């Protein structure tokens, strides 16, 4: 099993009192690794035997765990699909309300499999991870320099962060774009890439290269990029209305390719923590592909109601995935010490506030409870149990 970040442990307290065995093998392997770390054995433990090149755990004394986080077992037995959900894994979609389409075989059929530059961006995320948080060591200045080159390569991640829109917020008027001068400052919610993520990324790359709390800077970069890869598939569904090839970019932003199995990038994180949630994400991505197959596939789509159904299905499952990533990091925060604890806290403080919009739509009281914890003045003041309980109540089903 591959390591999911330097700090991300998928073995965290159960969600919604779950006891299902989905992902149980992965959980036991991760738990074994964490127990080894807790004992001060910084070798990669069971289920994580293949360390990336350059690992040097002995050089990172602050990576030790104070205690092994409890095991998470996903239980979706109480979760039912919405009436409008596309369900390709249920009798090839014959039992849902969607018309027959090319996604019914549970396979993503790309519009143009040979021209998806997004795959390279998702692979670049993995390469950045190996430099900064997936190598089992404290990154040094050269690692941040190498990672910045990967991040800023032509038509790479940086080029898309600078224009990425968060489709949850109202569209800009008169065809304006978030890459237009001055608009990110005027519309920071819609222009989340340049207004919210870009400042974090630029600051963290600079500070990391200067040796200023490198674990913390790596965690900030990881969190900001994960959020970018969360909002990007949703943005691509929206833009594919008129640019159909963007539907290929949608699925590539999630998993780096067109298949349900063996995703990279954000899909790797979600599947390792919660395989059932990963499957629901991919069902939603197939729903979006189904919509474009049914709706003027080589032209401009007109069935915006069906687009909205696919978009909502993807968003709900992705939000659950992001909530579980945050939940896992909260579990690590409770158990970590020293620089590693600071890094977990930086991760939580980066992604936590970005979850507020979705949380507030679902339950303002629980949103307030989550906000209070992710916005705590220090890591020691975070009530991990309260934060995780809020996440459980808000994002219990994909």
pLDDT digit string, tens, across residues 61-91: 556 666 776 678 999 999 999 999 999 999 9
| pLDDT, tens only, 81-139 | 999 999 999 999 999 999 999 999 999 999 998 878 999 999 999 999 999 999 989 99
Task: Residue 181: count other Cβ atoms within 10 Å of its Cβ.
Answer: 6
Spatial distance between the Cα atoms of 193 and 228, rounded to a whole number of angstroms: 7
Are 171 and 189 in contact, with CB atoms under 8 Å apart? no
Residue 115 has a pLDDT of 79
Spell out the domain ranges in the chain.
24-325
SS3 284: helix
Task: Residue 243: count other Cβ atoms within 10 Å of its Cβ.
Answer: 12
pLDDT averages per 10-residue partition of the chain, 398 residues: 40 35 38 39 34 33 63 93 97 98 98 90 98 95 98 97 98 95 97 98 98 98 98 98 97 97 98 97 98 96 98 98 97 92 97 98 98 97 97 98
Instruction: Please measure the distance between the N-terminal and C-terminal CA atoms of the chain and give it in whole angstroms.
Output: 24
Q: Is 365 left (phi over 0), alpha (psi -120 to 50) or beta?
A: alpha
Here the tokens at position 175 are 């065809």
Element (H, E) at 384: helix 384-394
CA 312 to each of CA 96, 275, 306, 391: distance values in angstroms, whole numbers, following the listed order: 16, 20, 10, 19
Runs of H (alpha helix) within the chain: 24-38, 118-132, 141-152, 157-161, 183-186, 192, 198-209, 214-239, 246-255, 266-273, 275-294, 304-335, 338-354, 356-362, 364-374, 384-394
Of 238, 196, 237, nearest to 353 by C-alpha is 196
């Amino acid at each position: 099993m591959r390591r999911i970040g330097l700090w991300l442990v998928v073995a965290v307290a159960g969600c919604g009192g779950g006891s299902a065995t989905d992902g149980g093998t992965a959980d036991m392997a991760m738990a074994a690794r964490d127990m080894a770390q807790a004992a001060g054995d910084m070798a990669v433990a069971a289920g994580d035997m293949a360390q990336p090149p350059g690992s040097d755990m002995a050089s990172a004394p602050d990576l030790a765990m104070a205690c092994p986080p409890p095991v998470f077992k996903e239980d979706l037995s109480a979760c039912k699909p919405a009436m409008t959900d596309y369900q390709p894994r249920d009798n090839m979609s014959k039992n849902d309300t969607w018309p027959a389409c090319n996604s019914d075989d549970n396979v993503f059929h790309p519009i143009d499999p040979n021209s998806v530059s997004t795959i390279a961006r998702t692979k670049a995320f993995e390469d950045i991870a190996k430099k900064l948080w997936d190598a089992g060591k404290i990154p040094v200045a050269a690692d941040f320099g190498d990672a910045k080159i990967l991040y800023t390569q032509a038509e790479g991640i940086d080029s898309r962060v600078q224009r990425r829109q968060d489709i949850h917020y109202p569209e800009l008027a008169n065809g304006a774009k978030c890459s237009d001068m001055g608009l990110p400052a005027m519309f920071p919610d819609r222009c989340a890439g340049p207004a919210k993520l870009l400042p974090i990324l630029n600051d963290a790359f600079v500070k990391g290269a200067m040796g200023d709390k490198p674990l913390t800077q790596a965690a900030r970069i990881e969190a900001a990029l994960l959020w970018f890869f969360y909002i990007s598939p949703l943005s691509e569904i929206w833009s594919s209305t008129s640019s159909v090839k963007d539907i290929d970019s949608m699925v590539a932003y999630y998993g780096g390719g067109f298949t349900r199995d063996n995703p990279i990038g954000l899909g790797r994180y979600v599947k390792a923590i919660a395989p059932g949630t990963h499957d629901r994400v991919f069902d939603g991505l197939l729903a979006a592909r189904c919509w474009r197959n049914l709706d003027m596939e080589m032209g401009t789509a007109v069935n915006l109601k069906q687009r909205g159904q696919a978009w909502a299905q993807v968003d709900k499952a992705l939000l659950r995935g992001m909530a579980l990533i945050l939940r896992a990091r909260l579990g690590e925060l409770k158990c970590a010490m020293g620089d590693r604890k600071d890094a977990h806290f930086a991760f939580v403080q980066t992604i936590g506030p970005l979850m507020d919009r979705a949380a507030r739509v679902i339950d303002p009281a629980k949103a307030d409870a989550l906000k209070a914890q992710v916005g705590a003045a220090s890591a020691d003041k975070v009530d991990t149990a309260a934060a995780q309980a809020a996440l459980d109540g808000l994002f219990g089903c994909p």
